[in-house]
């Protein structure tokens, strides 16, 4: 394995974070903090507790997951799209670097940024609400798995997109609504039976539920199911990335 190439691409992508610090870190943290203030004050005054957890603390895992999904996709999609846009992708494809090493570099950098952002948001949340983490090892596992999984998804979007506007279509029109409807601000257990069944068809429910369990030991779905669903998404996206490099889809044209 060409560790020098992996390190070079990884370092380049990580350096881009410092050049876009406002967009990459500060903006998501401020946006999430506003959610804590607005929802904690407006709704928290009417909903005191959910499953024995104060409402302000209850929404923390969902808000972290919202930022994690959107930023993982954004970081990875832009990271691979920009070389396509500038034409430098052909230099990468012709270099003595395997496809696996390219994916590890780009996805690894995007996932690292997302994990760091998630930890920063959790630290910020602790300033607003009484935050506790009952299972820190599981919390880190879900944090890393989700970041890697959706960085792979963002990598796929970056290859598929043929314009900057397409980089935003799926995150804005699909991922963000599914996250809001996936139990970020409520427990699906309070929904009527019909809507609860429909909610279980939302894949983001399993991500948020498992992540929330690592904080409070309370979940809408068994943690084993959440972990299995996260791993399933990971393998699906890995398979799609492998197919892309095997066929050269939108890379060699």
User: What is the SS3 assignment for 3?
Assistant: helix
Using one digit for the tens of pLDDT, what is the confidence trace for 115-171?
999 999 999 888 888 888 999 999 999 999 999 999 999 999 999 998 888 888 888
109 located within any domain: yes
Residue 76: predicted pLDDT:
93
Q: Which of 13, 30, 126, 4 is nearest to 77 (CA)?
A: 13
Query: What total number of domains does the chain contain?
Result: 1
Give the span between the Cα atoms of 180 and 200, in whole angstroms: 14
Q: Is 252 inside a domain boundary? A: no
DSSP label of 156: H
pLDDT of 41 higher than 70: no
Residue ranges in 95-220 assigned as alpha helix (H): 99-125, 136-160, 166-170, 176-180, 193-199, 203-216
pLDDT at 114: 94
Report CA torsion sign: 63, 81, 145, 228.
Answer: positive
pLDDT category of residue 45 using cuts at 50, 70 and 90: low
Decide if 253 is inside a domain: no
Lowest mean pLDDT among 15-24, 99-108, 179-188, 203-212: 15-24
Q: How confident is the model at residue 44 (pLDDT cuts 50, 70, 90)?
A: low
**Residue 66, pLDDT above cutoff 70:** yes
Q: Which positions ≥6 away from 66 have C-beta within 8 Å? A: 32, 176, 179, 180, 184
CA distance 120 to 137: 17
Q: Is the pLDDT of residue 48 over 80?
A: no
Q: By C-alpha distance, which of 96, 40, 97, 29 is closest to 67?
A: 29
Domain hosting 243: range is 3-247
Residue 17: per-residue pLDDT: 79
Residue 253 has a pLDDT of: 58
Q: How far apart are CA 83 and CA 12, in angstroms?
A: 12
């Amino acid at each position: 394995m060409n560790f020098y190439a992996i390190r070079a691409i990884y370092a380049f992508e990580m350096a881009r974070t410092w050049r876009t610090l406002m967009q990459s870190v500060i903006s998501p943290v401020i946006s999430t903090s506003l959610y804590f203030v607005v929802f904690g004050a407006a709704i928290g005054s009417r909903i005191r507790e959910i499953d024995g957890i104060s409402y302000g603390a209850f929404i923390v895992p969902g808000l972290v997951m919202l930022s994690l999904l959107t930023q993982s996709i954004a970081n990875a999609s832009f990271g691979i799209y920009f070389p396509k846009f500038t034409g430098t992708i052909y230099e990468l494809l012709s270099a003595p670097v395997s496809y696996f090493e390219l994916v590890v570099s780009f996805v690894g950098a995007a996932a690292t940024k997302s994990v760091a952002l998630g930890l920063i948001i959790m630290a910020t949340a602790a300033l607003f609400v009484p935050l506790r983490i009952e299972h820190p090892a599981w919390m880190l596992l879900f944090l890393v798995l989700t970041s890697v999984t959706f960085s792979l998804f963002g990598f796929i979007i970056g290859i598929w997109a043929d314009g900057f506007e397409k980089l935003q279509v799926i995150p804005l029109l699909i991922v963000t609504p599914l996250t809001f409807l996936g139990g970020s601000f409520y427990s699906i257990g309070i929904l009527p039976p019909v809507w609860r069944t429909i909610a279980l068809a939302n894949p983001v429910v399993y991500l948020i539920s498992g992540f929330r369990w690592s904080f409070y030991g309370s979940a809408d779905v068994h943690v084993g199911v959440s972990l299995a669903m996260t791993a399933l998404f990971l393998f699906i996206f890995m398979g799609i990335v492998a197919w892309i490099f095997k066929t050269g889809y939108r890379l060699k044209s």
